[in-house]
Amino acid sequence: MATGEELIAAAAAHIRAQSVGEGSGHDWWHVHRVWQNARLIARGEDVDPVVVELAALLHDIADWKFHDGDLDAGPRAARAWLLDAGAEPALADRVADIVGRVSYKGAGVPDDMPSLEGRVVQDADRLDAMGAIGIGRAFAYGGHAGRLMYDPDDPPVLHDTAEAYVSSSGATLNHFPEKLLLLRDRMHTATGRRIADERHAFMEAFVERFLDEWQGEA
């Protein structure tokens, strides 16, 4: 059986090699940031750090390899990789369970993450969709998908019924009320919440300023 430290090093090397050239927002550096933030958040929680680190490293393992819609692809790939790398089956199961639950399923869909280790990883993943990095990722994603930055005929609805808001044009600025500005209130941990507060305020200021600049200087 491999030690936790060996598994973490092997997982980092595997994911890094697998994600070379990935341009849609799931590149190695996203995983690296989630990993580091998960370690930071975990310091304030009573968790198994090996489970946290492995789940953070493997959380997007299937995003490059499998088709959308196969919800089991991630946990299956994580479990298979861990067993192959010499992890105990119980550890592989705990990590795979988190990988299967981590992603955001929509504004109206409550989180279903029973383990504290999973909540740490979910907070870390969501922090990477917020703040300056989150803004950068949103526009990178929008460009990749051929979306407008902003559609004046379909402006974002802010400070209103955000939970029910769905953009018709899919312009990237609409992704803020649709998802990014909802993440703060879904943080699970004290550390995640503290960092999310700052990143949320930065995103709100960004959207306001973007709309001001769009109108032209007075």
Q: What is the DSSP string of the chain?
A: ---HHHHHHHHHHHHHHHTTT--SS-SHHHHHHHHHHHHHHHTTS---HHHHHHHHHHTTTTTTTS-TT-TTHHHHHHHHHHHHTT--HHHHHHHHHHHHH-S---TTS-----SHHHHHHHHHHHHTTSHHHHHHHHHHHHHHTT--S--TTS----SSSGGG---SS--GGGHHHHTGGGSGGG--SHHHHHHHHHHHHHHHHHHHHHHHHHH---
Task: Select 56 or 82, whichever has its Cβ closest to ligand ADP.
Answer: 56
Beta carbon of residue 21, minimum distance to ligand ADP (angstroms, whole number): 17
Applying CB under 6 A, the span of 15-23, 134-142, 185-193, 201-209 interacting with ligand ADP comes to 134-142
Is 36 among the residues that bind ligand ADP (CB under 6 A)? no
Is 37 among the residues that bind ligand ADP (CB under 6 A)? no
Task: Select 36 or 103, whichever has its Cβ closest to ligand ADP.
Answer: 103
Is 142 among the residues that bind ligand ADP (CB under 6 A)? yes
Residues 58-97 touching ligand ADP, rule: CB under 6 A, are 60
Residues 88-147 touching Ni ion, rule: CB under 5 A, are 125
Catalog residues that contact ligand ADP under the rule CB under 6 A: 25, 60, 103-104, 125, 129, 134, 137-138, 141-142, 172, 175, 180
